[in-house]
Amino acid sequence: MPPVQKFPLRIFILLTALPAIVIGATLWIVSDLVPVCTIEEQDRLTSPGQQFDLVVFSRDCGNHEANTQAALVPPGDEVPFDAASFFSIAADADLSARWLAADSIEITRPASVAPLRDDASVAGVTVTYK
């Protein structure tokens, strides 16, 4: 029977630990390059039917202009950093938002700023702008 050679422990550790260290260091460096977004809620109104919360918020992802947005989220949930807003303007503004009914929202927006996005409906809810 031919002699069995063992795989040296040092080489095994080198071949497993070195790639793990390189991958971990790469992820750590790359994570510092991605901006962290923060959400600041300005107003939250629960729909009459308790189906959605209408949230007016601003999103700060570092070196970007001021913005004000509105989105619908499940009641009580936090606004995700990548929330899809149905209304957005590139300004820090106080929006007046209110539920007219369980399927209707009214938003009073500043006349001096053109919206980046102003959808007429979202998730089956009609949006009216003043």
- The pLDDT score that the predictor gives to residue 29 is 85
CA–CA gap between residue 111 and residue 115 (Å, rounded): 9
Is residue 84 situated within a structural domain?
yes
- The pLDDT score that the predictor gives to residue 104 is 96
Is residue 76 situated within a structural domain?
yes
Residues 56 and 120 in one domain: yes
Is residue 1 situated within a structural domain?
no
Bridge-based pairing of strands 104-108 and 38-46 is unpaired
- The pLDDT score that the predictor gives to residue 129 is 94
Q: What percent of the chain has pLDDT over 90?
A: 48
Residues 48 and 111 in one domain: yes
Give the model's confidence band at 70: pLDDT under 50 very low, under 70 low, under 90 confident, else very high: very high
Residue 84's domain comprises 38-129
Is the entire prediction scored with pTM above 0.75?
Answer: no
Contact (Cβ atoms closer than 8 angstroms) between residue 115 and residue 88: yes
